[in-house]
A and B are shown apart, each in its own frame.
Chain A
Amino acid sequence: MLVSKNKDINLLLSSEQSSLLRFLSLYAVLAIMILLLLGIFYYKSQEELMFSNQRIELSNYANEQVKELKLLHHYFPSRTEYPRSYNFNSAIYDIERVKIFSTLKNSDVNFDKEIYRIDNKIHFVKYLDDYYLGAKYLFLEVDEDDAWYAQTITNIIILGILTLIIMAIFGLVFVNILLRPMKNSIRLLDDFIKDTTHELNTPISAILANVEMMDTDVMVEKNKKKLHRINIAAKTVSHLYQDLTFLTLNHNQQSNNEWIDLKKLFEDRVEYFTILAGSKKITFTLDLNYSAIHMDLIKITRVIDNLISNAIKYNKRNGAITIVLRKEYFIIKDSGIGIEATKVSAIFERYSRFNSSEGGFGIGLNIVRSIIDEYGLKISVESVLGEGTDIRVDFLRASLGKGKSK
């Protein structure tokens, strides 16, 4: 199931993945904002509940204090001691909000709220009808009970996480519904290629085997040319067949890594492509030093074949291909049509062809990228429109033997 899902995700193009990522980010931001709002509402409601419980008690205290103030007012100035209580601190302010007397621990009072929290204290305000001692506002202060706060925060965190999980599940369901048509169309294309590939195998093998076996010495020059063309065409189809086979069958199989002599491999592959390159009068220039890499032979061959094949396909007539091999990298340079700078990043996407006049499915460079990524190689493209393209592959990590091992 997991493998299947990963495969599904791999089926998506990078632009579709970024769209998906944007959708998920937006969904996550919205979900978090909704949760934050719900959390704030819940917190406020719990605070209001606590206030309503406190309000009754504080109202009783306030009434007691008013009685005391009334008595003090009556006997003032023979009695001048401000009434105090063990249960609360208090303060009186006149109608102009000037302090008359205060025993509050926190003197930062708010005249516009009946009850409020401030620095672990609860302040309650009572507005007096008779201004005993000139007091219009009577403030009472009690210590806040932290239990409700801890309980509320715990509830918010637990409920928030649960809701987030539920919303994440919903999100995944939505994404699946959203992606289903896209996945289906890609799967349909892959299935079609897979089925076609099976059917191509036998005829291609037969054509190539028979072309090799034909005795060209007894042929007239005209037929030799025709056979040569048949050979090129068959090799082109064979190359496409290799890519399709890799894409549909080999890609998800484990690698059989071994030390590969890259210089020899390049020489073999250049020889293989010589006939194809010859059809466009393209010449190869090889500057190869010895280098070895620890990789699956089939996969490194797919990388090299696809890069050379593209260098031929998108080259000019009478063009040139230069291949440079050093210990830690190789460069395949063509004198072709080049790629627009804005399209360089898209060339590795599956089914992406930057020149519709040329044949192909647009899967070659996608295969290259998947192998490059699998082995932790680095690929860089430099291209000038109308002048040509340099593709450089660095294999520092791969040469240390990194990658899937058998």
Chain B
Amino acid sequence: MIKRHSIKKIIKKTIIVSLILNVTLNAEADNENIYEHTCLPCHRYLPSSLGDMYMRYLKTFSGEATFKASLKAFLKEPLEQTSVMSDLFIDRFSVKDKSLLTDKQLDEAIDIYWNLYNVRNKLK
């Protein structure tokens, strides 16, 4: 009986903590941009960084417009065939789920991504 009561207490505490965390995280999300909010959380746990993936995309698609269009198309309809990642990577992590972002949000996120890793600004 005591054990059951303790478990209930733990659940209650967990829910409360979760709610508090959720509220806190949502509050933080308002200050983050859409790229950091929607892309980074998942990619953070992948062995290939977003920087590496950027370079893969760049090596495949070259120009800014081509790069952005291809990435947007992939995010909306992710396929193994259109992925630039290696077979080994896809076997292990599979392709991502379809993005639920709107076109405008996708464009915004991709623009941020492009500007973040753009080689033109970094080459010396």
Q: Which residues of A does B touch, CB under 8 Å? A: 73, 76-77, 80-82, 94-96, 98, 100-101, 130-136
A404 to B95 Cα, complex, angstroms: 109
Among A80, A96, A130, A131, the one with the most B-chain Cβ atoms within 10 Å of its Cβ is A131
| CB closest chain-A residue, reference B119 | A133
The answer, among A73, A76, A96, A132, for a CB contact under 8 Å with B63, is: A96
A67 to chain B, nearest CB (A): 15
**Bound Cα distance from A135 to B117, whole angstroms:** 15
Bound CA–CA A19/B62 (angstroms): 68
Q: Which B positions have Cβ atoms within 8 angstroms of A?
A: 51, 55, 58-67, 117, 119-120, 122-124
Q: Is the CB of A135 within 8 A of B62?
A: yes
Question: Once the chains bind, are B122 and A77 in contact (CB under 8 Å)?
Answer: yes
Cβ 8 A contact of B119, one of A81, A96, A100, A136: A100
Contact B60 A96, beta carbon cutoff 8 Å: no
Q: Is the CB of B123 within 8 A of A133?
A: yes
Give the chain B neighbours of A100 by CB distance below 8 A: 119-120, 123
Closest residue of chain B to A77, judged by CB? Answer: B122
Q: In whole angstroms, what is the CA distance A96 to B70 when docked? A: 14
B123 A94 Cβ-Cβ under 8 A: no
Q: Which residues of A contact B119 (CB under 8 A)?
A: 76-77, 100-101, 133-134
Interface pair B59/A80, CB less than 8 Å apart: no
Please name the 4 residue pairs, one residue from A and one from B, whose CB atoms are nearest each other, closest first: A96-B63, A95-B62, A131-B62, A94-B63
* CB-based contact A136/B63 at 8 Å: yes
**Contacting pair A96 B61 (CB below 8 A):** no
Q: List 13 A-B contacts (CB under 8 A).
A: A73-B55, A76-B122, A82-B123, A82-B124, A94-B63, A95-B66, A96-B62, A96-B63, A96-B66, A101-B123, A133-B119, A134-B119, A136-B63
Assembled-state Cα–Cα distance A114/B120 (Å) = 24
Let me know if B120 and A101 touch, CB within 8 A. yes
**Cβ-defined contact, A134 with B124, below 8 A:** no
Specify which of A73, A82, A96, A101 is in contact with B59 (CB 8 Å cutoff).
Answer: A73
The complex places the Cα of A112 from the Cα of B64 at a distance, in Å, of 21
- The reply to whether A131 and B61 form a contact with Cβ atoms under 8 Å apart is yes
Q: In angstroms, how far is the closest chain A Cβ from the Cβ of B66?
A: 6
Instruction: With a 10 A CB-CB cut-off, give which of B58, B67, B124 has the most chain A CB atoms.
Output: B58
Known: A96-B66, A134-B67. 9 other contacts (CB 8 A): A77-B51, A80-B123, A81-B123, A95-B63, A100-B120, A101-B119, A130-B59, A131-B62, A136-B62
Q: Which residues of A contact B62 (CB under 8 A)?
A: 94-96, 131, 134-136
Expressed in whole angstroms, the Cα–Cα distance for A82 and B121 within the complex equals 12
Residues B64 and A132 in contact, CB atoms below 8 Å apart? no
What are the residues of chain B within 8 A of A101 when measuring CB–CB?
A: 119-120, 123
